[in-house]
Structure 1
């Protein structure tokens, strides 16, 4: 029989893009948005272990309980975040996310490496595009 004290968590690296990949998330907006995303996710029972990004997209490392549905969690987080950005008048135009997102599972042994990668997004994207980044992830298959 399984030990009832064990916690089961699933780690997922998620990449969400601004609608039409418009460069709307300037640094001051990202700073407050990241804190807001972490608080909102926590209130919904999801832990955002790492979050960072650049003007046109964000990376999140989320920790899900197995009963949580990734699509529902991301829809709720994106809907709340875009509503918060729009209601806070942080931009002079309406904000929205692309409907689709990329998601990659992360083994517990890879969590630190992915969190470090997410933490270096601004530096990473000085020389690499989102497209080249996604190509690298898409090549990693079993």
Structure 2
């Protein structure tokens, strides 16, 4: 008997200090690079998008996937890629920590649309407000002191 699952996780994390360092000229490169990391780990990238100061992506993951290990690898490898390719003229680093939110199959379209419409969405709402709203929506306890570097 095989293992069958349907696990979807929305991951969010920011550039250290929430600086606007992800430029439109290279954001697609970093999205493709991160997608490659996910695929090499035998997981499925469903949607990826972001803003100059943060990134969102929705994954379909296997039950054996450790989310923390996956995010650690994505941050470490993409940070090295950004530095090696000299995509940012400033020192680039991801923040510590991340948000991870699970979705059922019936809510995938909503999550995908939310991720793909980030630029439109952030014309009305800051990343800080968005992140706090997500934590509250999912009933996640948080400490303001550690919330956003």
TM-score calculated relative to the size of structure 1: 0.92
CA displacement at 1:58 relative to structure 2: 0.3
81-90 or 132-141: bigger deviation: 132-141
CA displacement at 1:71 relative to structure 2: 0.3
Structure-1 residue corresponding to 2:90: 93
Q: For the Cα contact (< 8 Å) 2:21–2:90, is it kept in 1?
A: no
Number of residues paired by the alignment? 139
More strand by percentage: 1
1:140 paired to 2:137: yes
Q: Residue 45 of structure 1 is aligned with which of 27, 31, 42?
A: 42
- Which contiguous aligned blocks of 4+ residues in structure 1 show a shift greater than 3 angstroms? none
- Matched residues in 2 for 1:45 and 1:99: separation? 24
Distance 1:6 1:69, change over 3 A: closer
Structure 2 segments unaligned to the other structure (5+ residues): 140-149
- Matched residues in 2 for 1:35 and 1:97: separation? 17
- 3-state SS, counterpart of residue 46 of structure 2: strand
Structure 1 segments unaligned to the other structure (5+ residues): none
- Matched residues in 2 for 1:25 and 1:44: separation? 24
CA displacement at 1:139 relative to structure 2: 2.0
Deviations 1:76-128 (CA, angstroms, capped at 9, x unpaired): 11111111011001111221100111111111111111011100001111121
- Matched residues in 2 for 1:43 and 1:98: separation? 23
- 3-state SS, counterpart of residue 112 of structure 2: helix
- 3-state SS, counterpart of residue 27 of structure 1: coil
TM-score calculated relative to the size of structure 2: 0.88
CA RMSD across the alignment:
1.4
